[in-house]
């Protein structure tokens, strides 16, 4: 072998012969492998995963989740080291791994922090590829997740061996499918490139439409706007298809008839209900008709919950009910409930009922079927819409699953413009710094911001913008995510962590990756506007972040998230506080007992379940302590620090429970 920049297995020549035996390199995408990549991402709870194969010079991706590359050079991959091992290679923090010190995919490229890879090994001992889980933050995976990856690796090799024994490919079919794949890849890649200039076209025509025009000019502009919107719909459909195949969940915001959607779901499920069950739909008289939101996701949630109720109820009744909790100038907050008189859920199972692969009883799958994923998916869908879901149940007597969602009101274009004008009046004169490297988007943003009456400075990249930020006072930052020199993520992290500034930052991007919006919020951004943006949408987000209410305290406990999420519905706040007060003391006792007995598995499960409750009351310091205990349980090693953290956790949560017990709305 010639000199190379990457490590070479001692059996490299034989390894390459084994790889070619399977005829897998440069083949078409296949659902079977796509499903495995999605399952890896799902099991490890990471935004990116892949199934890949490695030849002389490159790593080729058979299936990916979370990134668009089809291949990379072998010497830039983390997998070059996995290929040298016989088992899994896990890197919690790539910046601290000596082997990766010069790897370009840590700070550039894919920006990898966490990596877990397992080799794909043939029956005769040759490593021909890898299955990998990737994240952009420092983290780890537990033993169960590692075992799941080993099982999936064995499954991939079993399928490849089966193909070698049982198939020849139809060459003509392969050529035809390659042509289709090339077309689809071209459309998917070009759609991303089209969005940036289209953003300028739509934005500038919107601005021109507000100037003095004669009848003919207005007609022409309207035609351009209509054509632009139609083109954007086509592009979005292409991207949505790509996102669905990569496992993304898309939350739409479109006007729909709430009553019609609920009645449709009811009629759809009614045919599945036996005659022994009374099936009801109760709608609040004050329920709005038209709302802005995702009708399909609401239908998916209610269908899943109702389907469970039907499955586990032999007789009695099942009721879907929807009630309006609060209303303000912009939105409605609604409580949805699915209640049944079925088999119910044991009290000790309520805390884990929304976990993946969890069902109320071990015999549930045998008796009723199902994977145990449905409720976890429902929980994700609710939380992606900034809602909360919970359950009440008595074993043997029935259950009630209920969730809270807020939907924006539907306004006509005229009302939207009026609201935008009112928002401008409410906002003070703002000094805005835009981070944007595209000249068309710079010009568009300047025109829009000038119309708002704000001052605007523009930085071409993150480093230039930081220098400007240090030398002038600004009220707001608009942050493009994809920039040269220093991108939007790195710039925001520097402003938050190094400069310790809490200036409002709104992300603006035309590129949508898995979990990108949540990542923006996680690193400290306050708002998010996808490109191409409408003036009303941008102004609405500016108004929201600039007029965000200060944190509301009760005896030193931050209730702002709970109050904001419930639109200050005191009944809901009281209900959540009661659940916390009744639940946490028992969890503390269980956690401490498990630690005393060095029951690592129990500590891991209890700590993981408790972690979802603490952020509701902004108990961030205690959450860090709980996370440390969970990590040490995963590592099966409690240090002296663990006892200190447990004592701090018990005291902090006990104090919180005492304070919340006296809360009065």
Q: Are residues 26 and 162 in the same domain?
A: yes
Q: What pLDDT shows up at residue 169? A: 47
Q: What pLDDT shows up at residue 213? A: 85
Q: Which two tokens stand for residue 373?
A: 């994923």
Q: Are residues 158 and 181 in the same domain?
A: no
Q: State residue 569 phi and psi, 5-degree precision.
A: -75, 105
Q: Catalogue the long-range contacts made by 534-538 (C-beta closer than 8 Å, 24 or more residues apart).
A: 534/206, 535/203, 535/206, 535/420, 535/448, 535/451, 536/416, 536/417, 536/419, 536/420, 538/448
The CATH number given to whatever domain includes residue 537 is 3.40.50.2300
What distance in Å separates the CA atoms of residue 120 and residue 40, rounded to the nearest whole number?
A: 14
Question: What are the E-state strand segments in 420-566?
Answer: 431-435, 455-459, 476-480, 505-509, 527-530, 553-554, 557-558
Q: Which of 131, 150, 166 is the last residue of a domain?
A: 166
Say if 553 falls within a structural domain.
no
What distance in Å separates the CA atoms of residue 654 and residue 648, rounded to the nearest whole number?
A: 10
Q: Are residues 508 and 562 in the same domain?
A: no
Say if 327 falls within a structural domain.
yes
- β-strand partners of 279: 318
Q: What pLDDT shows up at residue 60? A: 93
Say if 285 falls within a structural domain.
yes
Domains held by the chain: number: 5
Q: Are residues 367 and 259 in the same domain?
A: yes
Q: What pLDDT shows up at residue 129? A: 94
Q: Are residues 390 and 462 in the same domain?
A: no
Over the chain, what is the mean pLDDT?
82
Say if residue 407 is exposed, middle or buried (CB neighbours under 10 Å; 0-12, 13-18, 19+). buried
pTM strictly above 0.75: no
Separation of first and last alpha carbons in the chain: 75
How many other CB atoms are there within 10 angstroms of residue 450's CB atom?
Answer: 12
3-state helix, strand, coil in the chain (%, to 5): 50, 20, 30
Q: Are residues 36 and 153 in the same domain?
A: yes
The CATH number given to whatever domain includes residue 161 is 3.30.450.40
Q: Which of 146, 166, 186 is the last residue of a domain?
A: 166
Say if 62 falls within a structural domain.
yes
Q: Are residues 138 and 205 in the same domain?
A: no
Say if 7 falls within a structural domain.
no
Q: Structural domain of residue 37, as residue ranges?
A: 12-166
Q: Are residues 132 and 175 in the same domain?
A: no
Say if 417 falls within a structural domain.
no
Q: Select from 73, 57, 79 the least CA-distant residue to 131.
A: 79
Q: Which two tokens stand for residue 374?
A: 């449905």
Q: What is the DSSP letter of 371?
A: -
Say if 609 falls within a structural domain.
yes
CA–chain centroid gap for 534, Å, is 24
Say if residue 89 is exposed, middle or buried (CB neighbours under 10 Å; 0-12, 13-18, 19+). buried
Q: Which two tokens stand for residue 321?
A: 């009910």
Q: What pLDDT shows up at residue 575? A: 76
Q: What pLDDT shows up at residue 365? A: 45
Q: Are residues 302 and 375 in the same domain?
A: yes
Q: Are residues 105 and 76 in the same domain?
A: yes
What distance in Å separates the CA atoms of residue 271 and residue 307, rounded to the nearest whole number?
A: 11
Q: What pLDDT shows up at residue 50? A: 94
Q: What pLDDT shows up at residue 422? A: 57
Q: Are residues 386 and 274 in the same domain?
A: yes
Say if 6 falls within a structural domain.
no
Q: In this predicted model, what pLDDT tens digit does every residue of 207-265 receive, in sequence order?
A: 888 888 888 888 888 778 766 765 765 565 455 445 434 445 567 788 888 988 898 88
**Positions in the chain whose pLDDT score sits under 50:** 1-3, 169, 237, 240-241, 243-247, 357, 360, 363-371, 513-514, 665
The CATH number given to whatever domain includes residue 564 is 1.20.120
Question: What are the E-state strand segments in 87-240?
Answer: 89-91, 114-121, 127-135
The CATH number given to whatever domain includes residue 262 is 3.30.565.10
Q: What pLDDT shows up at residue 371? A: 43
Q: What is the DSSP letter of 510?
A: S
Q: Which of 546, 581, 599 is the last residue of a domain?
A: 546
Q: Are residues 338 and 268 in the same domain?
A: yes
């Amino acid at each position: 072998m010639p000199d190379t920049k990457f490590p070479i297995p001692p059996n490299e020549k034989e390894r390459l012969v084994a790889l070619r035996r399977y005829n897998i390199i440069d083949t078409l995408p296949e659902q079977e492998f796509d499903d495995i990549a999605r399952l890896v991402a799902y099991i490890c709870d990471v935004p990116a995963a892949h199934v890949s194969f490695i030849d002389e010079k490159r790593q080729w991706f058979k299936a990916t989740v979370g990134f668009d590359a089809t291949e990379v050079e072998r010497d830039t991959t983390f997998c070059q080291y996995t290929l040298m091992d016989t088992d899994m290679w896990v890197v919690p923090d790539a910046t601290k791994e000596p082997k990766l010190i010069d790897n370009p995919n840590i700070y550039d490229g894919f920006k990898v922090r966490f990596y877990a890879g397992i080799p794909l090994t043939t029956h005769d001992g040759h490593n021909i590829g890898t299955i990998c889980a990737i994240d952009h933050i420092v983290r780890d995976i537990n033993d169960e997740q590692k075992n799941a990856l080993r099982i999936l690796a064995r499954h991939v090799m079993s399928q490849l061996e089966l193909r070698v024994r049982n198939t020849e490919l139809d060459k003509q079919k392969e050529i035809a499918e390659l042509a289709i794949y090339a077309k689809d890849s071209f459309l998917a890649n070009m759609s991303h490139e089209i969005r940036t200039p289209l953003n300028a076209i739509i934005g500038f025509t919107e601005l021109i439409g507000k100037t003095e025009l004669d009848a003919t000019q207005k007609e022409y502009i309207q035609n351009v706007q209509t054509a632009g919107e139609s083109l954007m719909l086509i592009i979005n459909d292409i991207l949505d298809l790509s996102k669905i195949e990569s496992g993304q969940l898309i939350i739409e915001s479109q006007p729909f008839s709430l009553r019609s959607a609920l009645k449709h779901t009811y009629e759809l499920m009614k045919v599945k209900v036996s005659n022994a069950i009374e099936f009801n739909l109760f709608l609040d008289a004050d329920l709005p008709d038209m709302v802005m939101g995702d009708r399909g996701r609401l239908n998916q949630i209610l269908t899943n919950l109702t389907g469970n109720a039907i499955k586990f109820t032999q007789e009695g009744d099942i009721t879907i009910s929807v009630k309006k909790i609060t209303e303000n100038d912009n939105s409605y907050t609604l409580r949805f409930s699915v209640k049944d008189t079925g088999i119910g859920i044991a009290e000790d199972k309520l805390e884990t009922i929304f976990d993946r692969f969890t069902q109320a009883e071990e015999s549930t799958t045998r008796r009723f079927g199902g994977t145990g994923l449905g409720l976890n998916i429902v929980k994700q869908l609710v939380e992606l819409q900034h809602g909360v879901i919970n359950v009440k149940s008595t074993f043997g007597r029935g259950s009630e699953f209920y969730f809270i969602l807020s939907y924006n009101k539907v306004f006509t274009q005229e009302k939207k413009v009026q609201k935008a004008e009112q928002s401008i009046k409410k906002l003070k004169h703002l000094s805005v710094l835009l981070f944007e490297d595209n000249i068309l988007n710079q010009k568009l943003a300047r025109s829009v911001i000038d119309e708002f009456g704000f001052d605007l400075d523009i930085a071409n990249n993150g480093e230039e913008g930081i220098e400007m930020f240090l030398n002038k006072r600004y009220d707001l930052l608009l942050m493009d995510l994809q920039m040269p020199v220093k991108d939007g993520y790195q710039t925001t992290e520097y402003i938050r962590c190094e400069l310790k500034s809490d200036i409002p930052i709104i992300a603006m991007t035309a590129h949508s990756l898995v979990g990108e919006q949540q990542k923006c919020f996680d690193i400290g951004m306050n708002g998010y506007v996808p490109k191409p943006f409408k003036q009303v949408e941008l102004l609405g987000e500016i108004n929201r972040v600039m007029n965000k209410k200060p944190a509301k305290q009760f005896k030193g406990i931050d209730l702002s998230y709970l109050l904001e999420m419930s639109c200050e519905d005191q009944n809901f706040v009281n209900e959540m506080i009661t659940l916390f007060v009744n639940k946490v003391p028992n969890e503390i006792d269980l956690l401490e007992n498990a630690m005393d007995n060095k029951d690592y598995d129990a500590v891991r499960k209890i700590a993981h379940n408790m972690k979802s409750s603490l952020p509701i009351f902004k108990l961030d310091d205690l959450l860090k302590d709980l996370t440390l205990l969970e990590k040490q349980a995963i590592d099966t090693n409690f240090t002296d620090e663990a006892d200190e953290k447990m004592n701090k956790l018990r005291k902090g949560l006990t104090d919180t429970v005492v304070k919340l017990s006296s809360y009065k709305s």
